[in-house]
């Protein structure tokens, strides 16, 4: 019977990983990890808003203390909406992405690493909104997130590498243009920080609104000309 046993301590005893498995992986675990990361980060954001500590407050002390926290609330609002936009954008990506490879896995890890650090830069905004360096750092952070998102889509769709081989090229182009719009707005907002840090953060807050309006604009243009496949 011993002759039928396999010596697992010998490296040659393990069967090789099939090439098709190594080069093409399922996306379900990527999506599950991303959902968990977004949920945790979006919850942590509210914990960065400090509760005012007041000694025997009067009826007006609490509203005044909360008003002094407006930079914290502004940072929370901008970051939460941005995270929501990023989650929706990634969800839309994986509607088209049908398989994954090692490069996509690591690009997603980079994307989630940047997402996980949003509470840190949001806290900086809440404490030092008047400091241009902080507003520029926050904008650079959002810019990096949007660029990785764009790079992921470009990588997955080049030569239909990881998407449905029958995907409409018009859809690919629309998502490429859409994912490039947010970095441009972030760059403009960073430039505005030289004039006003508050104005810069307000422009950051407008990015999800613009991003949400783009599909209807592109849909009208898409319906006006024939599809390319």
**pLDDT 10s digits, 99-115:** 989 999 999 999 999 99
pTM: predicted TM-score of the whole model, two decimal places = 0.81
Instruction: Give the least confident one: 16-30, 97-111, 130-144.
Output: 16-30
Give the model confidence (pLDDT) of 167-176 as tens digits: 888 778 888 8
Identify the pLDDT of residue 8. 46
- Reference 75, options 27, 29, 123, 114; nearest CA is 123
DSSP result, 65-127? HHHTTHHHHHHHHHHHHHHHHHHHHHHHHHHHB--B-HHHHHHHHHHHHHHHTHHHHHHHHHH
32 pLDDT more than 60: yes
């Amino acid at each position: 019977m011993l002759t039928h046993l396999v010596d697992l301590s010998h490296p040659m005893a393990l069967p090789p990983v099939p090439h098709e498995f190594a080069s093409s992986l399922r996306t379900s675990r990527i999506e599950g990890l991303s959902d968990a990361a977004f949920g945790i980060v979006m919850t942590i954001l509210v914990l960065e808003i400090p509760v005012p500590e007041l000694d025997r407050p009067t009826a007006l002390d609490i509203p005044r203390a909360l008003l002094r926290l407006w930079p914290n609330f502004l940072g929370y609002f901008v970051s939460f909406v941005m995270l929501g936009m990023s989650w929706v954008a990634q969800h839309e990506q994986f509607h088209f992405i049908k398989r994954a490879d090692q490069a996509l896995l690591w690009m997603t890890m980079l994307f989630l690493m940047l997402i996980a650090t949003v509470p840190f830069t949001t806290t900086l905004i809440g404490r030092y909104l008047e400091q241009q360096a902080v507003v520029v750092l926050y904008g650079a952070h959002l810019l990096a997130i949007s660029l990785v998102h764009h790079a992921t889509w470009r990588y997955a769709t080049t030569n239909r590498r990881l998407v449905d081989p029958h995907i409409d090229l018009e859809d690919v182009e629309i998502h490429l243009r859409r994912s490039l719009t947010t970095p441009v707005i972030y760059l403009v907002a960073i430039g505005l920080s030289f004039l006003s840090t508050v104005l810069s953060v307000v422009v950051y807050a407008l990015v999800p609104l613009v991003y949400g309006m783009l599909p209807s604009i592109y849909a009208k243009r898409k319906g006006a000309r024939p599809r390319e496949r």
